[in-house]
Amino acid sequence: MHHRPVEFSCTTIDRDLPLRVTIDANQNVKVAPGPGAAVTPPKDQWLISSGLVDLQVNGYLGTDLSDPNLSVEHAESFCRQLAGVGVTRLLPTITTNSHQALIASLRRLSSLSEESDLFSRMTLGIHLEGPFISKLDGPRGAHPREFCRPCDLNEFALLQQAAQGLIKVVTLSPEYESATSFIAEITRQGLIASIGHTAASPEQIQSATQQGAQMSTHLGNGMHTEIARHPNYLWEQMASDELHAGLIADGVHLSPAILKSIVRTKTPQRCFLVSDTTSLSGQPAGRYRDSVLGDVEVTDDRRLVIAGQRLLQAGAYKPLKDAIPIIMRDADVSFTTALKMASEFPAAAIGHRDSFPFDPQSCTGDFIVFQRDKNNRCDVKLAVVNNDVLFSNLD
């Protein structure tokens, strides 16, 4: 298919380097130094940056990534929908379920990576969030209690086999006696152990980091509603320099005070934003049936909650780009830093610091072009992965 050739100017997010983007009739993309044709809108010049990297995506706009029957067509549509909101790389996330259900979901994701070049290019592996998490109310969040269980290397080997080795991150609780050897072994295999949905003691958190744990999953969430003043598992993770902290900055999951406290303590470079979106994210308000969580509500104020109450969250509603103005406001960071917390910093957290983030000097890597409004919201105009246009709204 041939398209109308396009050339336009944009600048890097700090506005100090003008670049020219050219897309030919075959959708081949080239980025080069210097200004291009004046097609940018008069209100504000378009900006270019690394594409967003989301390490916790359960689904979006009706697509459930744990669906064992997910078709290639729906998977690729999902990828392009995410590209439309700026995400160019992600970790599909599978949450706590029965062993058989996890096997089926992981097999389907690994098959999709073989059947779809687009899905394979955008996904960086799989994030397994559970089932090796706390059974306790509060720490387990919305994960079904009956499927929460201790860390088990034998079971994990079967899960990784079903995933054909694609599991990259495992969210687990160090509160179990078996967690120490589990973390040490998956770290030896080159995987990332991420602490989350835990009721672990500070000593167990310390032991986890000594064995190689590198991340905290949505720090500040998946907790008891009340905890000891000190010591506790939140302070211990905030104080640990070994742990990079994932944060859901959607204006719902974390208050401004805790967001600022975590970012100030960890430093922005050791924090990254995640969406935690589900198949219900972006859907109209109403009551829905989830295959794992049961009845879930999308509220009028755009929250995802277990039906019948307002405290227990069932994922997040907003895509990753919407976290940028929120983290700027609540944690008092610059636009450039906030954007890096959604792109370069998550890439670095899983060992991809130099693999694909956009380099404005060499003009290589994944990138998005967007317009920033006065409220720091990003209107994505173009998303490119491996020089392939995944989304375009340049008119």
Instruction: Categorize the per-residue pLDDT at 34 as very low, low, confident or very high, splitting at 50, 70 and 90.
Output: confident
Residues 156-182: pLDDT tens digits? 999 999 999 999 999 999 999 999 999
Residues 220, 254: contact at Cβ < 8 Å?
A: yes
Q: What DSSP string runs through 106-121?
A: HHHHHHHHHH-HHHHH
Overall fold of domain 50-349: TIM Barrel (3.20.20)
Q: What is d(CA 314, CA 293) in angstroms, rounded to the nearest whole number?
A: 8
Q: Per-residue b/e over 59-69, b at no fewer than 16 CB within 10 Å?
A: bbbebbbbbbe
Statement: residue 13 has pLDDT above 50: yes
Express as a percent the part of the chain with pLDDT over 70.
97
Q: Which of 83, 122, 30 is nearest to 380 (CA)?
A: 83
pTM of the model: 0.96
Residues 248, 221: contact at Cβ < 8 Å?
A: yes
pLDDT of residue 345: 97
Residues 195-251: pLDDT tens digits? 999 999 999 999 999 999 999 999 999 999 999 999 999 999 999 999 999 999 999
CB atoms < 10 A from the CB of 22, how many? 15
Kindly give the interhelix angle for 179-188 and 153-162, rounded to the nearest 10 degrees: 40
Question: What are the sequence ranges of the domains in the chain?
Answer: 6-48+358-392, 50-349
The mean pLDDT value of the chain amounts to 94
Q: What is d(CA 18, CA 37) in angstroms, rounded to the nearest whole number?
A: 12
**Of 31-45, 129-143, 313-327, which gets the smallest average pLDDT?**
31-45
Q: What is d(CA 341, CA 247) in angstroms, rounded to the nearest whole number?
A: 10
Residues in a beta bridge with 123? 90
What's the sign of the alpha-carbon dihedral 226, 230, 236, 238?
A: positive
CB atoms < 10 A from the CB of 177, how many? 11
Q: What is d(CA 284, CA 280) in angstroms, rounded to the nearest whole number?
A: 8
Q: Looking at per-residue confidence, does 290 or 324 come out higher? A: 324
Q: Residue 145, CB half-sphere, CA atoms under 13 Å: how many?
A: 5
pLDDT of residue 40: 46
pLDDT of residue 36: 61
Mean pLDDT value of segment 144-153: 97
Statement: residue 257 has pLDDT above 80: yes
Q: What is d(CA 388, CA 87) in angstroms, rounded to the nearest whole number?
A: 14
Q: Per-residue b/e over 280-294, b at no fewer than 16 CB within 10 Å?
A: bbbbeeeebebebbe
